[in-house]
């Protein structure tokens, strides 16, 4: 039996499961960084929530650690890549709070519609203000759901019971899937213009921070109300305050804030704002689910059994010929998804050369992890990736060929619009992107990349370099390749930061540019 270190409050129902299995559960709360480094020694399992940071330095001190369990969804506080490289499994409880978060969203929609908190506060302070807190009905109103993942879908389902009309913005949900849910897909600007209530259910990322900002709030109805139970910062709080103060929109309800804990905000001074202190997962049921789920995952991991919510894969489970391609497959999936800009209806994964003879099942899962990780708010694991593909209408086709042309092994991923190929060089095992949309290139994947396809004419490289240089970008690597017919060329550049929309717009508007896309790996 193993020693399991628990550094944050976990429901007793979960810890009791581990004790019943014979494990030693060592609860040590509020540890300093130095104390945690000592306590981790000799622990086979570690259970955390959001406060404990599982860093490279901590993992280096963990001499017997086999599994880290996050009792919740987010893994921002865990260095998953370093844990994977050191054979430490990372698991989470991705479904523990989705129902609670959806129900709180509905509660805040109702609170906004009927001014419940404001009326309560007035009455307990001796004021009978029936006319002042007149509200609106939900029946017949349009609910705009920004992010139609699991929580967004649950909110939409419940809104239908109120007789609301449903529209949604989510480029990674197919129209057929949305239709099955009784939801009409539309663009974000259209959603903002048409919605009476706007509820946000997106992950917080560089693409979504501030997505509901001044520009979007300017085009909303003056009767619109914004609800955010997702992550702070997705709704620009400064722009929201301005819109509420100037009567651009009618109200807002927030459970999350850009900086937490938040006890002082200009938004708190407005009578048309309802706020709660990040209560999305704060139900007895959600806490019990998280504790029990993570305990069950640790029991399976320590017993060497299949672990449903593992977000990484033990290197021991992967063939040597396939192992170097696991991170590359995820990077290619992410590259294709960001190049595409929305969820394709079909993806073809091609395995060529030596790779085609290996066990490629995990490569398909890694590819799907990359695709969904690039643009959805779903917690993606090797286990739930196929289910997400089915739910979102993504058809996956695999092909195998012994011939890899000039390479020992080649991995390619293609949609109807785009195709990207990569390989791993011998003997260094260094990953290389070698083809994009029919253009031969050679460049290592990196976090921030720019892909530009243009007419094959002089001056295009200088044009792109000048635009990037004027915008303060540095370029760490670059590859250029012509098409087979010689009519177009493609360049890929690795940049020091993400290329902003304004810079992309300047490139796309230049003469001879077919497309310019900021992509990530």
> What element of type H or E holds 435?
strand 431-436
Contact, 3 vs 44, CB < 8 A? yes
Separation between Cα atoms, residue 415 and residue 350, nearest integer Å: 11
- Alpha-carbon torsion 35, 37, 41, 44, what sign? positive
Separation between Cα atoms, residue 354 and residue 215, nearest integer Å: 51
Contact, 466 vs 475, CB < 8 A? no
Long-range CB pairs of 103-106, under 8 A, 24+ apart, other chains included: 103/158, 103/283, 104/229, 104/255, 104/276, 104/279, 104/280, 105/151, 105/155, 105/199, 105/201, 105/227, 105/229, 106/155, 106/158, 106/159
Contact, 346 vs 394, CB < 8 A? yes
Separation between Cα atoms, residue 160 and residue 46, nearest integer Å: 42
Separation between Cα atoms, residue 352 and residue 424, nearest integer Å: 12
* Cα 70 from chain centre: 16
For residue 181, give every residue at least 6 positions away whose Cβ sits within 8 Å of its Cβ, in sequence order, or none. Answer: 148, 153, 156, 157, 166
CA atoms within 13 A on the CB side of 323: 12
**What is the b/e burial string over 457-495, where b = at least 16 CB atoms within 10 angstroms of the residue's CB?**
eeebeebbeebbeeeebeeeebbbbeeeeeebbbbbbbb
Contact, 489 vs 454, CB < 8 A? yes
Catalytic residue annotation: 231, 260, 278
Query: What size, in residues, is the chain?
Result: 521
């Amino acid at each position: 039996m193993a020693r399991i270190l628990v550094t944050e409050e976990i429901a007793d129902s979960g810890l009791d499961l581990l004790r019943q299995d014979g494990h030693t559960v060592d609860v040590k709360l509020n540890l300093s960084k130095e104390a945690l480094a000592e306590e981790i020694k000799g622990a086979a399992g570690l259970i955390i929530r959001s406060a404990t940071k599982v860093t490279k330095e901590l993992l280096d001190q963990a001499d017997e650690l086999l599994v880290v369990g996050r009792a919740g969804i987010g893994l921002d506080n865990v260095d998953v890549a370093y844990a994977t490289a050191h054979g430490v499994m990372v698991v989470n409880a991705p479904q523990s709070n989705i129902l609670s978060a959806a129900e709180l969203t509905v509660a805040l929609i109702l609170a906004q519609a009927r001014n419940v908190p404001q009326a309560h506060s007035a009455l307990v302070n001796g004021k009978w203000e029936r006319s002042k807190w007149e509200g609106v009905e939900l029946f017949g109103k349009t609910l705009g759901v920004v992010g139609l993942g699991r929580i967004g879908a649950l909110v939409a389902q419940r809104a239908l019971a109120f007789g609301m009309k449903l529209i949604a913005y989510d480029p990674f949900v197919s129209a057929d899937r949305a239709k099955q849910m009784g939801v009409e897909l539309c663009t974000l600007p259209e959603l903002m213009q048409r919605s009476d209530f706007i509820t946000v259910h997106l992950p917080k990322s560089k693409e979504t921070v501030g997505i509901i900002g001044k520009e979007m709030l300017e085009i909303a109805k003056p009767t619109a109300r914004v609800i955010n139970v997702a992550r702070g910062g997705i709704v620009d709080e400064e722009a929201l305050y301005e819109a509420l103060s100037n009567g651009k929109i009618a109200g807002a309800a927030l459970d999350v804030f850009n900086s937490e804990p938040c006890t002082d905000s200009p938004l708190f001074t407005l009578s048309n704002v309802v706020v709660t202190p990040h209560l999305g997962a704060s139900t007895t049921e959600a806490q019990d689910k998280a504790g029990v789920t993570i305990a069950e995952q640790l029991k399976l991991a320590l017993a060497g059994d299949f672990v449903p919510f593992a977000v990484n894969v033990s290197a021991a489970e992967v063939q040597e010929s396939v192992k170097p391609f696991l991170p590359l497959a995820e990077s290619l999936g992410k590259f294709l998804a960001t190049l595409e800009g929305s969820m394709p209806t079909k993806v073809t994964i091609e395995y060529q050369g030596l790779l085609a003879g290996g066990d490629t099942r995990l490569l398909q899962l890694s590819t799907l992890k990359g695709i969904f990780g690039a643009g959805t708010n779903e917690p993606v694991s090797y286990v739930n990736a196929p289910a997400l593909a089915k739910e979102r209408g993504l058809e996956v086709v695999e092909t195998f060929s012994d011939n890899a042309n000039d390479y020992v092994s080649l991995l390619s991923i293609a949609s109807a619009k785009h195709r990207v190929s990569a390989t791993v060089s011998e003997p260094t095992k260094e990953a290389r992107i070698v083809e994009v949309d029919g253009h031969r290139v050679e460049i290592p994947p990196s976090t921030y990349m720019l892909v530009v396809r243009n007419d094959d004419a002089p001056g295009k490289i200088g044009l792109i370099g000048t635009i990037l240089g004027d915008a303060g970008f540095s370029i760490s690597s670059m590859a250029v390749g012509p098409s087979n017919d010689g009519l177009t060329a493609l360049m890929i550049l690795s940049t020091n930061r993400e290329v902003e929309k304004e810079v992309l717009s300047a490139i796309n508007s230049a003469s001879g540019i077919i497309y310019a896309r900021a992509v990530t790996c």
